[in-house]
Homo-oligomer: A and B are copies of this chain.
């Protein structure tokens, strides 16, 4: 079963937004063992969309089209698909009622335009919309199929996983199992990871030369706010064998990379902290300067954070550090300051452990220190946390203001994760 993706939207051709939908769909197809042959983008022009659909469809069995299903005049994907199918658009009563209900539930008048979204090409099925007003479409063309999904990422993702992937798998009756596990790390550079794994790469290469089957492959993915991820993947007909060999390979990779590994089951750093704090009944608090609320915001991304997260004092202004936190240290970007900040936070937020952070975001120097100079402090009831290293750390980060703040945020979460592991 070959698939292609077509993104509709002039805003992508103008470089105003990056097409992250295609990358998400590509990952989901891969995870389900479905081959992707190509990705294309076309602007909001009826004849060019029709042409692009025809060409993409000529190369695959199933085409996934995103975008152009909105309620406005330049949303013309459904018209283009109807042209390719050689049929008319007809109003669907069920969808019309659903869209009307969407607005009624919200006590908002329904713009007349939204009824465009109840139009379906004759012979097509619809995918009921759960999050927005645009339904998806499943459109047969001969023995091939076009899936149309809205361009709004969360609406697209929900429909893709609920309806499109199962539909493709059903049609393909796939017998190969493609699995992958992501080993997530923080604190190592990409080239250091490559160096540490070079023996493992050699081992896999020699297995390949021997013509062995079931050989896992390893790929890297670097991201400034989530770290280096190592994707270990394997496909084969025997699902049990695939799982077994994959698990063994993941163990090898994780053991080489050591404490830098924070998850092998797609947990994020904040989810790892959530798990540790929940399991061990630890409450946490934060005092943030440089990161201005970013650490808190990552922690509360996890539903249920209110069980262990007390809050964060974002003391951006030096005056506030002195008045609310009673910081005495002469320099607010220093080890002495972050120790005081953490201690004040511990008391004010009545938490078991408090993390503090201060640093220079740039572009200018502060207190004679270069952008990227960051201090992280910790404070806790030393009796209860006797096994935990509460020493402050100093980091030197490089990059733009935004990069420095993102890396500082993740470094702080990772430090908390490493230290709490020894609780």
Contact = CB atoms under 8 A, between A and B. Distances in A.
Interface of A: 10-20, 22-30, 36-44, 48, 51-52, 55, 59, 70-74, 106, 108, 111-114, 131, 133, 152, 154, 180, 182, 189-192, 194-195, 201, 219-224, 229, 231, 286, 288, 291-297, 299-301, 303, 305-306, 309-320, 323-324, 348-350, 361-363, 396, 398-403, 405
A2 to B, nearest CB: 11
A40 B41 contact: yes
Interface centre among A16, A314, A350 (most CB of B within 10 A): A314
Contacts of A10: 219
A412 to B, nearest CB: 12
A17 B221 contact: yes
A121 to B, nearest CB: 22
Contact of A13 (B37, B59, B324, B348): B37
A14 B40 contact: no
Given A39-B41, A194-B111, A396 B106 contact: yes
Interface centre among A15, A70, A112, A114 (most CB of B within 10 A): A15
A351 B311 CA distance: 20
Nearest to A75: B220
A194 B12 CA distance: 20
Interface of A is mostly: mixed
A106 B396 CA distance: 8
A192 to B, nearest CB: 6
A114 B219 CA distance: 17
B297 A291 contact: yes
Given A191-B71, A220-B72, A316-B305, A399 B131 contact: yes
Contact of A111 (B17, B192, B229): B192
A282 to B, nearest CB: 14
Contact of A195 (B36, B59, B111): B111
Given A12-B26, A314-B296, A114 B191 contact: yes
A316 B303 CA distance: 12
Given A72-B190, A294-B297, A309-B317, A106 B398 contact: yes
A70 B222 contact: yes
Given A13-B36, A231-B16, A311-B317, A350 B363 contact: no
Given A72-B191, A293-B296, A11 B316 contact: no
Given A44-B219, A309-B317, A316-B310, A71 B37 contact: no
17 contacts: A13-B38, A13-B39, A14-B27, A14-B30, A14-B219, A15-B26, A15-B27, A15-B28, A15-B30, A16-B231, A17-B221, A72-B190, A154-B400, A303-B362, A309-B316, A313-B314, A319-B350
A311 B321 CA distance: 9
B301 A293 contact: no
Contact of A403 (B108, B154, B361): B154
A34 to B, nearest CB: 11
Given A40-B41, A191-B114, A15 B11 contact: no
Contact of A12 (B23, B106, B231): B23
Contacts of A350: 319-320, 323
Interface centre among A180, A349, A402 (most CB of B within 10 A): A349
Contacts of A320: 310-311, 349-350
B52 A38 contact: yes
